[in-house]
Amino acid sequence: MFNVKHNECVGFESRWRVKKVSSVGSTQTTDYSKAEMETSPPEKKDTQVQTETPEGATSVQVDEEKLAEWLRKIYPKVKKELDDSANSRAFKGYKLSTDSSDANCKLVQILNVASQVKDAEIGSYVSAMSWNSTNQTLAVSCTYKHNSWCYHEGVVAIYTLDREDNLPETPRVKLTTESCVTELRFHSVLPAIIAAGLFSGGIIIWNIQKEDDQVVAKVEGHGDGITQLSWIIDINSAKNVLLASSGLDGLLSIWNFSLNESALTIKERHQIRSQLMPKNSESQEETVKKIARGVTCFDFSKYSPEIFVIGGEGGLVVQCSLLGSRKLQGSKDEAPLLDSVFKYYEGHKGEVSSIKFSPNRREMFMTSGSDSEIRIYVVDQEEPAQVIFLKQPLLDVSWVPYEERIICGCGKNGVIEIYNLLKGKAIENTTKEKIKSEIMTQVEINKTKSNIVAVGTESGHVQMWRVPWALFGNLSL
């Protein structure tokens, strides 16, 4: 089945060594030479471009219904982004600091407001100040300390900053009233409109652009002295600006203002009453009737204009709302009397002198009282989130624009007092100039140029300071 067969071997010549042929060549280059030649730029010609659709070209067909539907779909998000960008304060007022160690407050000017209006029997201390909407004009009023009824004539002095951001020695305008002025507030939009609250409870509105007949409106606003004024947004129409006023009669009133009709008419009144005592109270009485408290201060939220917080006599701190208010007995349709109390906060042990919402945080507001405490509240929390204990009570406090970590105030110490909001401690305020220490009654920070600070004193002076807030903000880190 199987056979064995032998074949002879076959051999092949080896080719593993191969010689390659190569040759050496040479190259030759031409000699280098240089020659100059004249050139001229090309001639330019203007041509016209026809943007209209040429004849014969087909136009693009657009489905307008689908386009409108798409625009309606994206509009809310686009509007939100545009509004956030327009309202953002992230870089507004931002300045690069050149020397972080030179946190020095500089006094640049002192105005003797009382002496300028001495012929009107002006009082001794600055009772109110306000910058207008352009932040170029400052209104100042001085008043007496009253033990009973006021028999003085009040005067409001109007000053305007010059090119060097200084105020003139003589006021540009003088406005007179039948009693001392306790509160001033420029209109939030119209720079020439200013409202004044009087010790007698009256409210006057002027137009300082006019040379004659400057009084726009005048009403008997409250049954007791005016404690605060504020121009607020109408929650029913954002285009309208209303005037809110508070008084020691226990009312917060909201007024419709019309410049064209020269009218100030009441819209509604809110009465603030004390909180009912709990049943387990240690008081001898089981319950305490609600008693109206005088309103010492208030502020409306910048982010939720229907919410406002009120400080009442006896240290009362109350959150109120324009929505869901309840009419009280005796209320009239033309001027309803409302109970708008929504929540009671843990109050001060002394009188509340100031309440202000944060310009940076929608949920935060600050109070200051005669118990030498600054309290930082969160809207939804009844107890304060932070308490800053002071050596002496402050007469006025303010948030610092564009600086979230620091707040400032003034009082008996005679200097602008600066505090770290997070740590709850004072930041040293260094002033190289030697100045006479005076009790400070009012502090007003210019909103456009926040380093310009006007401070009113008990002797009727206005001190103009330059304060490098950014440097103090760095020290608070």
Position 58 in a domain: no
Q: What is the mean pLDDT of residues 132-147?
A: 90
Position 70 in a domain: no
Cα distance between residue 356 and residue 398, in whole Å: 7
| Cα 23 to Cα 17, 20, 26, 317, 361, distances in angstroms | 19, 10, 10, 106, 88
Position 455 in a domain: yes
Position 24 in a domain: no
Q: Residue 184 belongs to a domain with what CATH number?
A: 2.130.10.10
Q: Each residue of 7-50: pLDDT tens digit? A: 555 554 544 444 444 444 444 555 555 555 555 555 655 555 55
Q: How many domains does the chain have?
A: 1
Q: Mean pLDDT of all residues in the chain?
A: 82
Cα distance between residue 194 and residue 182, in whole Å: 14
pTM: 0.75
- Residue range(s) defining the domain that contains residue 145: 106-278+288-475
Cα distance between residue 216 and residue 405, in whole Å: 41
Cα distance between residue 249 and residue 17, in whole Å: 122
Q: Using the CB atoms, write b or e for 426-463: b if 16+ within 10 Å.
A: ebebeeeeeeeebebbbbbbbbebbbbbbbbbbbbbbb
Residues of the chain with pLDDT > 90, as a percent, come to: 53
Confidence of residue 62 (pLDDT cuts 50, 70, 90): confident
Specify the higher pLDDT residue, 222 or 283.
222
Position 258 in a domain: yes
Q: Each residue of 228-286: pLDDT tens digit? A: 999 999 998 878 999 999 999 999 999 999 999 999 999 999 998 766 444 444 443 33
Residue 346: what pLDDT? 94
Position 32 in a domain: no
Confidence of residue 123 (pLDDT cuts 50, 70, 90): low
Q: Which of 17-21, 139-143, 351-355 has the lowest mean pLDDT?
A: 17-21
Q: What is the mean pLDDT of residues 194-223?
A: 94
For the purposes of burial, counting CB atoms within 10 Å of the CB of 353, is it exposed (0-12), middle (13-18) or buried (19 or more)? buried
Position 450 in a domain: yes
Specify the higher pLDDT residue, 129 or 95.
129
Position 184 in a domain: yes
Give the chain's length: 477
Residue 86: what pLDDT? 65
Residue 283: what pLDDT? 41
Residue 92: what pLDDT? 55
Q: Each residue of 395-439: pLDDT tens digit? A: 999 999 989 899 999 999 889 999 999 899 999 877 766 777 889
